[in-house]
Chain A
Amino acid sequence: MTRIWSIPGGVHPEQNKSQSLQLPIGEIALADEMVYPLSQHIGAPASAIVAEGERVLAGQKIANAKGMISANIHASTSGTIVAIEDRTLPHPSGMSGPCIILQPDGKDEFAEFEACEDYLALERDQLVNKIREAGITGMGGAGFPTAVKLSPRANQPIDTLIINGTECEPYITADDMLMQTRADDIIKGTQLLAHLLGNPARVVIGIEDNKPKAIEVMKRAAKDTDVEVASFPTKYPSGGEKQLIQILTGKEVPAGALPASIGIVLQNIGTTVAAYEAVRFGKPLIERITTVVGQALETQRNINVRLGTPINHVLAEHGFIPKNASRLIMGGPMMGFALENDGVPVVKATNCILAPSQKEFPEPTPAQACIRCGMCAEACPVSLLPQQMYWYAQAEDYEKLEAHNIKDCIECGACSFVCPSNIPLVQYYRSAKGTMRQLAIEKEKSDRSRQRFEFRQERIAKAEAEKDAKRLARKKAAEEAKKKVEAQKASGETPAAGNDLVANAIASAQQSQTTPDEQKAKLERTLSSAASRLEKLQQRLTETDNDDSQQAKLAAQVKQAEVKLQDAKSKLENFSTDSSAAPAAVDPNDPVAAAIARAQAKMTMAPDEKLRSNLESLNKRLAKAEEKLATAKAENSDTADALQTGVDKLKEKIATTEKDLAELPPSASLAPQAANSEEQDAASAAIERAKAKAAAQASMSDEDKLRDQLTAMAGRLQKTHDKVAAAKADNAETLDALQLGLDKMLAKQQKMRDQLRQLNPSAAELNDSPTVTETAPTVVEPDAATAAIEKAKAKAAAQASMSPEDKLRDQIESLEKRLDKAKQRLIKAEAESDDNIDAFRTGVEKTQAKLEQTRAQLESS
């Protein structure tokens, strides 16, 4: 006697199995249309290999298994494929899915099957392949591909094969009938499966003790075999895979694991027959035994039905009265599902079609509040806490449900069955499990999404960084190219320089070196120019030794030059030049110092002394200049003109100096101031002088004034004469204007002389005029100039010793001489039609006028 374990919980619903056991297995007529859903098993849907309009034979494969966990589908009768379209599926969702629609031709021609007498001699793989080709799936309800179950992993040796003949659901008797009618095939099939699994130590067929006939038949069939037939007390849900394993072996399959993990394989009893037929006769899974039961039917029995037969056809064959039926259920009353549409076909896993009456299956009574009675927990075959799970399911607290192992729930419905409040507990668990599955999928997807998103971000960042790097590299390259060009420009003739940077550095170094050199040179130049300027000034200072006013000016200039020189020197020294530059700068220092000393000595002299010494030096210079001029003329030198102007200037200076000397005694008190001021500033000196003169004039008598004015006029006349001469020499346009000015000045002088004569007829200045007027021709003709000067000097010397009468007489003589000369020139000029003819004419007229005046004076005196 086989040892039997017990399972926790479990319920004892009404069996209701006798109804369908009264009649033998029946056959029904072929339906007008067969429907083969591509997905009628667990795993991937099969893919159709037939086309619309194709004729197929019974047993011909019409859809191929796709992937590992999938199953082939075969036509269950001969006919034509009319469509491959979506039809309502035999599924609790009531959803549609792709189905192959076959229109039977009624001939029911079978394809040729490859039979095999000695199938045990075949290779294991071949056998499994035969089973796979036959499209056999678990016939118990779930529909797991059998071939997969028969190929356990190598590391999971199978020591027990259990054939499930339990059939614990009420109403269903398909397996019972199968065992009663085909016990031998079951045994052979069991042996085949055992063979495929490597002949496990224990092969046991488990049958509930509510099927005594089946037990008897099976025991008889298994008598001389290794197959063990075990019966055990009826209790729902003993037929559950894990429950049956526990009952027969006492082992519990770990949560979330397959029975193979503990060395056990469990197959449905229908599957054994199908496998046997597939191997022995090559017959694919095209029909099965299904219980058709319910009080809404006239006939309740088990039928051998072709797969794909629509349920409404099956029902019609059994006298189904729709108005009597409360609903239509595929599967058992505990675990089956209601069908909304009776057009769905019988599939591989359809073990029962239940059409109960209202009386049998009344409307479920409304759920009431959970009273926490705990009966569900007692009924649960998996030892869960259905009551707690119910609360959590209501609260959608999936974490807590997970913690309460909701995944181990086999959805047997025992808890709902015992619930006094009629709470559809299993519905809650199914819903919660579905949601949790969905959440897990979403979680997986969101993780993948995150990964993809992060990868994308990373990729974009990388691309951006690469772009940036490229941009930077380009920029750098451009800058380098620019630098190169610049370096080539800078280095100019040295483009051969390999390294641009080095060339650059050298160029800049050279620049920085030449710059101080240049600066130094510049400073040296300034120094030398300052020195030369100082030398020149010094020379002039020595030349104007006796000229006080010039000396003052020069002294100021010398001072400035000195300051400049000092500046330049200090700069040069600051620049830290080499010692060779320093002596050069020092050299002119000594003469400068000497000059300064001399100038200072002169400055300390008395004003009249200064003037006198000036006059002396000027006279000396004049003498020298005249000598030079004479030699220059004799040699006909180019410098004659320059010397001539120099002589003129000297004469001028002498005149002013003499005048200053003359003024000095009457305004002795003012002179030093003037002299002092001259020392200080050359510009203000003129103003001071003018002031001094004005002051002197104010204190002077009318006669003195006139006399003074007359001398000043004489100076101006002299200057104007010079200008006219210069203008004549240059043939300037201003000649006429100057000539006019000269005439006016002469007239003015004449007036002043007349006034003076009225005041003091014997005034010495009256005799000056011939001297002054005489200079005009001398300027025009350089040859006569020196002679005139000599004459003028002689005259001046003679006049000083002569009486006024003699003087006048002398003047008259000279005027007469001049007149003659002038007349001669005029004639000559007229003959040559000279440009100067007008000037000569006026000159002649003036001389005549003077002559007459002088004669008149002589007569009056």
Chain B
Amino acid sequence: MVEYLLTHPFIGALVALVSLALVFGAILGYAAVQFKVEGDPIVEQLDNLLPQTQCGQCSYPGCRPYAEAIANGDAINKCPPGGQSTINAIADLLDVEAPTLDEEHGEESEVKTVAFIREDECIGCTKCIQACPMDAILGAAKQMHTVIGDECTGCDLCVEPCPVDCIDMLPIETTIGDWRWDKPKASQEQLNNLIATDKQAVEDGAAA
């Protein structure tokens, strides 16, 4: 057998290649079964990047559906709560160019908000409770409702259903606990003052 293969190099090569193909095919087949990934991992990653406000401003019923839509090729700039940083992160993940936020779906607000129920005016209709995607509103029929501020994502879905308009979206104020240093800004004025000739040029420009 071996001698035959040695004397017939073409057949020998053929046999070697076929046997290699069979071996690797078996390994790959085993791996495909054994290490099968359930679900779409990219959706998980995208979902992790989204802000989970579940506000539906992207026109999908929640963040995960939008993540799935992105995985299926939808635009990545439909998330106003996430803003540009989320878009950048998604673009980075998908290795595409980061577009700016699609204004059609809303504007990125500087300040995060949280729903607040003016409790004196609440009539206890439970409409906001049904609307809240977070279960962040407490209350019962004909009882006063209130928002669990820590759980509120500020999606403002509860504002519209309120029949007496007693829900306000209040901006979250920075407390001493979550205060952080500002990023230093390189002042153009400072830079202009740095070199005398630059300063002169700026003054000339202003005069002209």
- Report yes or no: B183 in contact with A428, Cβ–Cβ below 8 A: yes
- Report yes or no: B180 in contact with A449, Cβ–Cβ below 8 A: no
Q: How far is the CB of B139 from chain A (nearest CB, A)?
A: 16
Q: Which of chain B's residues 153-201 have a Cβ closer than 8 Å to chain A?
A: 153, 174-176, 178-184, 186-187, 190-191, 193-194
Q: How far is the CB of A433 from chain B (nearest CB, A)?
A: 8
Complex interface: chain B residues within 8 A of A438 (CB): 178, 180
- Report yes or no: B134 in contact with A437, Cβ–Cβ below 8 A: no
Known A430-B180, A437-B180; contact A367-B133, beta-carbon cutoff 8 A: no
Q: How far is the CB of B87 from chain A (nearest CB, A)?
A: 13
- State which of A75-83, A440-448, A683-691, A727-735 sits at the interface with chain B: A440-448
Q: Is A516 an interface residue (CB 8 A)?
A: no
Complex interface: chain A residues within 8 A of B181 (CB): 92, 427, 430-431, 434
Q: Is A598 an interface residue (CB 8 A)?
A: no
Q: Is B63 an interface residue (CB 8 A)?
A: yes
Q: Chain A: interface secondary structure? A: helix
Q: Is B54 an interface residue (CB 8 A)?
A: yes
Complex interface: chain A residues within 8 A of B187 (CB): 366
Q: Is A450 an interface residue (CB 8 A)?
A: yes
Q: Is B52 an interface residue (CB 8 A)?
A: yes
- Report yes or no: B51 in contact with A456, Cβ–Cβ below 8 A: no
Q: Which of chain A's residues 703-742 have a Cβ closer than 8 Å to chain B?
A: none
- Report yes or no: A449 in contact with B179, Cβ–Cβ below 8 A: no
Complex interface: chain B residues within 8 A of A428 (CB): 183-184
- Report yes or no: B176 in contact with A456, Cβ–Cβ below 8 A: no
Q: Is A5 an interface residue (CB 8 A)?
A: no
Give the docked Cα–Cα distance between A433 and B190 (Å).
26
Q: Is A744 an interface residue (CB 8 A)?
A: no
Q: Of B50, B135, B194, which one neighbours A452 at CB under 8 angstroms?
A: B135
| Per-residue B-contact encoding for A404-448, CB less than 8 Å = 1, 0 else | 000000000000000000001001101111110110011001111
Residue of A nearest to B51 (CB): A446
- Report yes or no: A441 in contact with B133, Cβ–Cβ below 8 A: no
Give the docked Cα–Cα distance between A435 and B174 (Å).
13
Complex interface: chain A residues within 8 A of B151 (CB): 448-449, 452
Give the docked Cα–Cα distance between A664 and B85 (Å).
125
Q: Is A91 an interface residue (CB 8 A)?
A: yes
Q: Of B53, B175, B184, B190, which one neighbours A449 at CB under 8 angstroms?
A: B53
Q: Is A343 an interface residue (CB 8 A)?
A: no
A side interface size, CB within 8 A:
38
- Report yes or no: A453 in contact with B134, Cβ–Cβ below 8 A: yes
Q: How far is the CB of A151 from chain B (nearest CB, A)?
A: 24
Q: Is A39 an interface residue (CB 8 A)?
A: yes
Q: Is A93 an interface residue (CB 8 A)?
A: yes
Q: Which of chain B's residues 134-161 have a Cβ closer than 8 Å to chain A?
A: 134-136, 150-151, 153
Q: Which of chain A's residues 332-366 have a Cβ closer than 8 Å to chain B?
A: 365-366
Q: Of B47, B135, B176, which one neighbours A450 at CB under 8 angstroms?
A: B47
- Report yes or no: B194 in contact with A434, Cβ–Cβ below 8 A: no
Complex interface: chain B residues within 8 A of A97 (CB): 176
Residue of A nearest to B190 (CB): A366
Q: Is A839 an interface residue (CB 8 A)?
A: no
Q: Is A600 an interface residue (CB 8 A)?
A: no
Among B85, B183, B186, max chain A CB count under 10 A is at: B183
A-B contact count (CB 8 A): 89
Complex interface: chain B residues within 8 A of A92 (CB): 179, 181
Q: Is B62 an interface residue (CB 8 A)?
A: yes
Give the docked Cα–Cα distance between A323 and B131 (Å).
59
Give the docked Cα–Cα distance between A39 and B62 (Å).
39
Complex interface: chain B residues within 8 A of A441 (CB): 178
Q: Is A95 an interface residue (CB 8 A)?
A: yes
Complex interface: chain B residues within 8 A of A433 (CB): 180
Complex interface: chain A residues within 8 A of B134 (CB): 449, 452-453, 456
- Report yes or no: B47 in contact with A89, Cβ–Cβ below 8 A: no
Q: Is A225 an interface residue (CB 8 A)?
A: no
Give the docked Cα–Cα distance between A450 and B50 (Å).
10
Q: How far is the CB of A421 from chain B (nearest CB, A)?
A: 11
Q: Of A366, A432, A445, which one neighbours B194 at CB under 8 angstroms?
A: A366
Q: How far is the CB of A657 from chain B (nearest CB, A)?
A: 103
- Report yes or no: A367 in contact with B184, Cβ–Cβ below 8 A: yes
Q: How far is the CB of A401 from chain B (nearest CB, A)?
A: 12
Complex interface: chain A residues within 8 A of B193 (CB): 366
Known A446-B51, A449-B151, A453-B52; contact A95-B176, beta-carbon cutoff 8 A: yes
Complex interface: chain B residues within 8 A of A456 (CB): 133-135
- Report yes or no: A453 in contact with B54, Cβ–Cβ below 8 A: yes
Q: Is A680 an interface residue (CB 8 A)?
A: no
- Report yes or no: A446 in contact with B184, Cβ–Cβ below 8 A: no
Q: Is A760 an interface residue (CB 8 A)?
A: no
Give the docked Cα–Cα distance between A445 and B178 (Å).
14
- Report yes or no: B176 in contact with A453, Cβ–Cβ below 8 A: no
Give the docked Cα–Cα distance between A281 and B51 (Å).
54
- Report yes or no: B52 in contact with A450, Cβ–Cβ below 8 A: yes
Q: Is A758 an interface residue (CB 8 A)?
A: no
- Report yes or no: A431 in contact with B52, Cβ–Cβ below 8 A: no
- Report yes or no: B54 in contact with A449, Cβ–Cβ below 8 A: yes
Complex interface: chain B residues within 8 A of A519 (CB): none
Complex interface: chain B residues within 8 A of A427 (CB): 181-184
Q: How far is the CB of B61 from chain A (nearest CB, A)?
A: 9
Give the docked Cα–Cα distance between A368 and B150 (Å).
42
Residue of A nearest to B148 (CB): A452
- Report yes or no: B176 in contact with A446, Cβ–Cβ below 8 A: no
- Report yes or no: B179 in contact with A95, Cβ–Cβ below 8 A: yes
Give the docked Cα–Cα distance between A430 and B181 (Å).
6
Residue of B nearest to A451 (CB): B52
- Report yes or no: B178 in contact with A91, Cβ–Cβ below 8 A: no
Q: Of A366, A367, A434, A449, which one neighbours B153 at CB under 8 angstroms?
A: A449
Q: How far is the CB of A422 from chain B (nearest CB, A)?
A: 10
- Report yes or no: B194 in contact with A435, Cβ–Cβ below 8 A: no
- Report yes or no: B194 in contact with A368, Cβ–Cβ below 8 A: yes
- Report yes or no: B178 in contact with A453, Cβ–Cβ below 8 A: no
Complex interface: chain B residues within 8 A of A447 (CB): 52
| Per-residue A-contact encoding for B5-49, CB less than 8 Å = 1, 0 else | 000000000000000000000000000000000000000000100
- Report yes or no: A89 in contact with B183, Cβ–Cβ below 8 A: no
Give the docked Cα–Cα distance between A438 and B181 (Å).
11
Q: How far is the CB of B36 from chain A (nearest CB, A)?
A: 23
Q: How far is the CB of B65 from chain A (nearest CB, A)?
A: 11
- Report yes or no: A431 in contact with B183, Cβ–Cβ below 8 A: yes
Residue of A nearest to B63 (CB): A450
Complex interface: chain A residues within 8 A of B136 (CB): 452
Complex interface: chain A residues within 8 A of B62 (CB): 453, 457
Complex interface: chain A residues within 8 A of B186 (CB): 366-367
Q: How far is the CB of A76 from chain B (nearest CB, A)?
A: 22
Q: Which of chain A's residues 10-49 have a Cβ closer than 8 Å to chain B?
A: 39
| Per-residue B-contact encoding for A307-325, CB less than 8 Å = 1, 0 else | 0000000000000000000
Q: Of B54, B64, B150, B182, which one neighbours A431 at CB under 8 angstroms?
A: B182
Known A427-B184, A431-B181; contact A366-B191, beta-carbon cutoff 8 A: yes
What would 8 more interface pairs be, CB under 8 Å, given A367-B186, A396-B85? Answer: A91-B179, A95-B175, A427-B184, A433-B180, A434-B180, A437-B180, A450-B52, A453-B54
List the 6 closest A-B pairs by CB distance, nearest first. Answer: A434-B180, A366-B190, A446-B52, A430-B181, A449-B52, A431-B183
Return 21 A-B CB contacts under 8 Å, by A number.
Answer: A366-B186, A393-B183, A427-B181, A427-B184, A430-B181, A431-B181, A431-B183, A434-B180, A434-B181, A438-B178, A441-B178, A446-B52, A447-B52, A448-B151, A449-B151, A452-B134, A452-B136, A453-B52, A453-B133, A453-B134, A455-B135
Interface of A toward B, CB cutoff 8 Å = 39, 89, 91-93, 95, 97, 365-368, 393, 396, 424, 427-428, 430-435, 437-438, 441-442, 445-450, 452-457
